[in-house]
A and B are shown apart, each in its own frame.
Chain A
Amino acid sequence: MSKSSITKLLDAKGVRHDGRKFNELRPVTMKVGVLENADGSAYIEFGKNKIMAAVYGPREVHPKHMSVPDRSVLRCRYHMTPFSTDTRKNPAPSRREIEISKVIREGLEPALILTDYPRTAIEVYLEVLQSDGGSRCASITAASLALADAGINMRDLVVGCAAGKIEGRVVVDLDDVEDKEGEGDMPMAILPNLGQVTLLQLDGRFSRKEFDEAFKLAKDGCMKVYDIQRKALMEKYFGAEETGEQ
């Protein structure tokens, strides 16, 4: 990791090292339907995070004995390219990536109606082309867009956003520097219409009160990302001018 030259994560006025306020997200853009071969795909830029998501399926399960008689098997692989980090990342899946793949899959599953596709597999591939803190939240957001683009029956979209703690202050959406030098990170993903929390992780130290603040900031952050997410989906299927929300 390159040693950052930043000494203060928050200045006297409460402005963060990249100029954001405590409740301000990094710039977010999303695009649906970006890969030719995949059944569904999406691309997200969340600050410096650049992530490609693709969905294949429902399709035959390989190996066959893994198929389930009453529903589809959801599979998910979160992977970082070797050039996505400051120092080259070994391309083999790390324990971190295996764990993140699992929590993303489990965060997506409540949104999907898997019983509509018995004896099939739905595969979600997430490739982090560049990472900058908060990549699992950006990934799950892109994954749910790709699933919608693939035409999988869904109860809701899934949208992710983290909150964390820097210099004793709870803020939304940590970037890489804030994540490494801050005191805590809490990634979260929700089903915005069903009011369900489907991904929640926490590390660092939070008091009960700080947890409440972090939860609220992450939830509000999710709702802001959800707006952009919905527009991206509308843009592909109805064209930009018909979203009516410009």
Chain B
Amino acid sequence: MSKKSLVVEHLKRAQMLDVLTKGVRLDGRGLLDYRPITIETGIIEKANGSAKVRIGNTEVIAGVKVQTGAPFEDTPDQGLLIVTAEVLPLASAYAEPGPPNEDAIELARVADRGIRESGVVDLKELCLVKGKNVLAVFIDVSVLNVDGNLFDAVSYAAVAALLSSTMPKYEVTAEGVKDTGKTIPLPVKLTPISITMVLIGNTIIVDPTLDEESVMTARITIASADKNTICAGQKGNPGGFTEEQVMLAIDTAISKGEEIRKMLKKSVGHGKKQK
């Protein structure tokens, strides 16, 4: 929890509720409008894939590193895919260096579930020698500037970085696994998209700013793998949703997710051509 003044919080809530009942938000957006989203890929040469995503003033950067590793005991024929997220101390006056707090842990775990559980990468294709050598895909996301909706920014950056990522081509020889020095595209199957909504008063809005997050009662993040499949969900913050609100959130996540999926694929496509 960042330190906020209770008085300001209460005043802001009143003002925000007032405009929300008219169907607009303090920054002039409609209830289901995102702030402008920009996605750049291929910005870190040393990474196998990378992306910088801005949603309004929220800014995050993701990098993909692919290396060899040992598989988990219970999945000997599958590679690894790990998503981490960190709010850097330079990202906000309230962020501090040191071990991640519970908000940062939740952020990383929700992003990880949204991406891994969707089956975005066929992990069987990352197996080199069953039970011994597999490829491990690390997607590390760093938050550079905090202005609300970190969940979606982290998720889009991770997915954009994955889509633009290559992996080293390995050869399995009698002596073991050898790097051929060549790269091939990462076998990405899907484009999972997370949509975060918050409840202020009785109104659900998407893509909250930091100001909006400071007065929300509850948050819900739903990730979809495609237009018919939900692959992750997380309700957050002290507050509840009615059944109708949950259903509305699911429908919004699916329709809005499809919109953003198209946009994200297009941006990543442009990035690839420029290379």
Partner of A194, one of B102, B108, B231, B240: B240
Residue B11 interfacial (CB < 8 Å): no
Residue B98 interfacial (CB < 8 Å): no
Contact string against A for B residues 98-140, beta-carbon threshold 8 Å, 1 for contact and 0 otherwise = 0000110110110001000111000000000000000000000
Shortest Cβ distance from residue A190 to the other chain B in the assembled complex, whole angstroms: 8
* Chain A positions within 8 Å of B228 at CB level: 207-208
Shortest Cβ distance from residue B202 to the other chain A in the assembled complex, whole angstroms: 12
Quick one: given A204-B117, A205-B225, are A106 and B246 in contact (CB under 8 Å)? no
Interchain CA distance A102-B105 in the complex, whole Å: 10
By the criterion CB–CB under 8 Å, are B230 and A99 in contact? no
Contact string against A for B residues 222-247, beta-carbon threshold 8 Å, 1 for contact and 0 otherwise = 10010011111111111111110111
Q: Say which one of A120-128, A195-203, A227-235 lies at the interface with B.
A: A195-203
8 A Cβ contacts from A72-114 to B: 74, 95-96, 98-99, 101-103, 105-107, 109-110
Residue B193 interfacial (CB < 8 Å): no
* Chain A positions within 8 Å of B241 at CB level: 196-197, 200
Residue B254 interfacial (CB < 8 Å): yes
Most buried by A among B237, B240, B250: B240
Range for the number of chain B residues in contact with chain A: 35 or more
By the criterion CB–CB under 8 Å, are A203 and B231 in contact? yes
* Chain B positions within 8 Å of A70 at CB level: 6
Shortest Cβ distance from residue B188 to the other chain A in the assembled complex, whole angstroms: 17
Shortest Cβ distance from residue B243 to the other chain A in the assembled complex, whole angstroms: 7
Quick one: given A102-B102, A202-B233, are A215 and B246 in contact (CB under 8 Å)? yes
By the criterion CB–CB under 8 Å, are B229 and A200 in contact? no
* Chain B positions within 8 Å of A205 at CB level: 117-119, 225, 229-231
By the criterion CB–CB under 8 Å, are B235 and A101 in contact? no
By the criterion CB–CB under 8 Å, are A109 and B242 in contact? no
Which residues of B approach A to under 8 Å, CB–CB? 6, 74, 102-103, 105-106, 108-109, 113, 117-119, 218, 220, 222, 225, 228-243, 245-247, 250, 254
Known: A99-B106, A103-B234; 6 extra A-B contacts, CB below 8 A, are A98-B105, A99-B109, A101-B102, A196-B241, A201-B233, A205-B230
Which residues of A approach B to under 8 Å, CB–CB? 1, 3, 68-70, 74, 95-96, 98-99, 101-103, 105-107, 109-110, 184, 186, 190-191, 194-208, 211-212, 215, 219
